Amino acid sequence: MPIRQHNVMLYTAGGLIAASVVTVLHQVAGDPQIGIVVPAAHAAVPLPGAGPAPAAAASAAITDLLLQDPLAVARMGRERYERDVRDYTCTLLKQERIAGKLRETEEIYVLYRESPHSVYMIWKKNADQAKRALFIDRPDFVDAQGRKLAVVEPAGAIIRLFVSEVKLPIHGPQAERASRRTIDEFGFRSLFGLLNRYNEIASQRGELDFRYTGEGEIDGRPTYVFVRLLPLGRGYPDARLVVHLDQEWLLPTSVSSYADTEGKQLLGSYVYTRVQLNPGLSEADFRF
């Protein structure tokens, strides 16, 4: 069911539906089996004398919200991330189609910090053009032309005999040949931003179909699965997008992008495994 139909159901069937769903979510926010935290500003005021929501009611409330307003769940995940997460580490499993060719799945250990925005990638399997790459959003990572740079250790034993590291622009033709997304576009914040950007564009055009399709699992953790379908030939980055939101964290731990609505031609797959939130990374962790 397209999201525009969900919105009609949610608001014309009565604001009481939305209010009751969010109220129950707020009441069970501390339940690790539910894993959703609703900011107080979004929660309806509980009725006097109301006790803890029964598990069955909580489950039904979550299902109602997922089915009737799936974008609200994604928004809660983004708000929670912006409020609570300072840094994290993970192992990224990345597979992309570059210049029409689907590459092998790369395994990359990543350290990420919000402030200053820092990304340190260390390839463990199937390194293509880089063995390591470090980007920090600060002046010493900008060249004389004002271009943002990353410090890179090239892949390949022969080239490393001549140069151990180089600074390269993170945007431009060379970066596009290496990956569909640049190093500064890595991470949960960027995934939420891209998801929201094209959802808004498609919604304004009346073309957005974003729905909850059921439960899944990533790295042994239960997820909520969402599918977005967008029309071809309208300038969107993909026709089909499959997103897994971790049920406890509400973070997009898997995103798969396809060139067709049937999901036959993969453009890019990004799976976040072994995620550790807020490990307390220091400046020493971002030294090349």
Q: Where are the alpha helices (DSSP H) in 69-107?
A: 70-84
CA–CA separation, 230 and 210 (whole Å)? 9
What pLDDT was estimated at residue 56? 61
Neighbours of 45 (CB within 10 A): 9
15-19, 121-125, 266-270, range with the lowest pLDDT: 15-19
Tokens 């033709």: give the residue. Answer: 173
pLDDT at 248 over 50: yes
pLDDT over 50 at 76, yes or no: yes
Reported as a single tens digit per residue, the pLDDT across 178-220 is 788 899 999 999 999 999 999 999 999 999 999 999 999 999 9
Rounded-to-5 percentages of helix, strand, coil across the chain? 35, 35, 35
| Lowest mean pLDDT segment, chosen from 26-35, 52-61, 80-89 | 26-35
Beta strands in 219-264 (DSSP E): 221-229, 240-246, 252-258
Q: Report the pLDDT value the prediction gives residue 74, as an integer from 0 to 100.
A: 95
Q: Which residue has the higher pLDDT, 19 or 86?
A: 86
pTM recorded for the entire structure: 0.78
Of 251, 280, 287, 288, residue with least CA distance to 113: 280
- Per-residue pLDDT tens over the stretch 92-129: 999 999 999 999 999 999 999 999 999 999 999 999 87
User: Is residue 11's pLDDT more than 50?
Assistant: no
Nearest to 254 by CA among 281, 275, 229: 275
Question: Which of 32-36, 166-170, 217-221 tops mean pLDDT?
Answer: 217-221
Dihedral (CA of 125, 130, 131, 134) sign = negative
Q: For residue 57, what pLDDT is reported?
A: 63
Kindly state the DSSP code that residue 123 receives in the 8-state scheme.
E
